[in-house]
Structure 1
Amino acid sequence: MDDDLVVSGSLVIPAAELRERFSRSSGPGGQGVNTADSRVELSFDVANSRAVPDRLRSRLLERLADRLVDGVLTIAASEYRAQLANRMAARGRLVALLRAAAAPPPPPRRPTKPSRGARERRLADKRRRSGIKRDRRAGTDD
């Protein structure tokens, strides 16, 4: 369970930089729901991590700004009855979140103009639609 998390080729989070807290979970569990600490809170300090390269750190901090508290990203998982399953779910979500935030920005859009045929089709559709509406108006004046 103490494996490093591989987010991308340039970002591997050592297990030592992850902090897990366990607490009682709401939801299914029957009689064991009051005794098992199956809810998992997984925390990762993005701002002070030595595993995050400096070129990625600013991008992660910017894109995850609304989810960070003092530079720490926290993910809670309580959908499963078993603590181990919740630990795996939390780690999976952390990897997915960091992978999405670390992705390079898309290339800038190159502006294009509609083709002549596209403009003509659009105008023809507008004329057709206008005619349908005009015919409806003419038919209601009985």
Structure 2
Amino acid sequence: MRPIELHEVQWTATRAQGAGGQNVNKVSSAVHLRFDVRASRLPEAVQQRLLALRDGRITNEGVVVIKAQQHRTQEQNLRAALQRLNVLVAAAYPEPILRRATRPTLGSQRRRLESKSRHGATKALRGRPRDD
């Protein structure tokens, strides 16, 4: 897997939110990163898995939007946003392992039946006492 590089994304600098005084009001240090999954050079299978992720950062149009504003400088925020994008893409790379159907072992079948009979006996004791 090769990391996503800066020339593959679109980014804009905006003013960050939160505390920071005069610096946060003057300097555009926050970064909005946009990565179009369908237009990327990622393998088709990885694109499909990435779009199937239930992640709020992926729009209906297939664009990943990441905002980074933790750091004081634009360069650090850009690096942080790229790193978060690469982590997200890396999560879509491994193919899910398909489960092979197996039969229950004899021990597990026996434990299940014993548990059922114990549970049934407990429920039978909850009834009204019988007069014999």
Q: Is the 8 A contact 1:19 1:43 kept in 2?
A: yes
Q: Which stretch has the larger CA shift, 35-44 or 66-75? A: 66-75
Equivalent residue in structure 1 for 2:120, among 103, 107, 130:
130
Are positions 1:64 and 2:50 aligned together?
yes
TM-superposed deviation, 1:87: 2.3
Equivalent residue in structure 1 for 2:30, among 24, 30, 39:
39
Q: Is the 8 A contact 2:38 2:62 kept in 1?
A: yes
Question: CA 1:72–1:134 in structure 2 vs 1: closer, same or farther (change >3 Å)?
Answer: same
Query: CA-to-partner distance for each residue in 1:51-106, whole Å, 9 max, x for gaps?
Result: x25xx1x123322336256554332223x142344323211210011111222x23
- Whole-Å separation in 1 of the counterparts to 2:120 and 2:62: 56
Tell me which residue corresponds to 1:94. Answer: 85
Tell me which residue corresponds to 2:55. Answer: none
Q: Is the 8 A contact 2:4 2:82 kept in 1?
A: no
Are positions 1:26 and 2:17 aligned together?
yes
Identify the structure with the greater strand proportion. Answer: 1
Tell me which residue corresponds to 1:121. Answer: 111
TM-score (norm 2): 0.72
Q: Secondary structure at the match of 1:75?
A: strand
Q: Percent identity?
A: 35
CA RMSD of aligned residues (A): 2.6
- Whole-Å separation in 1 of the counterparts to 2:62 and 2:77: 23
Q: Secondary structure at the match of 2:127?
A: helix
- Whole-Å separation in 2 of the counterparts to 1:60 and 1:75: 19
Q: How many residues align?
A: 123
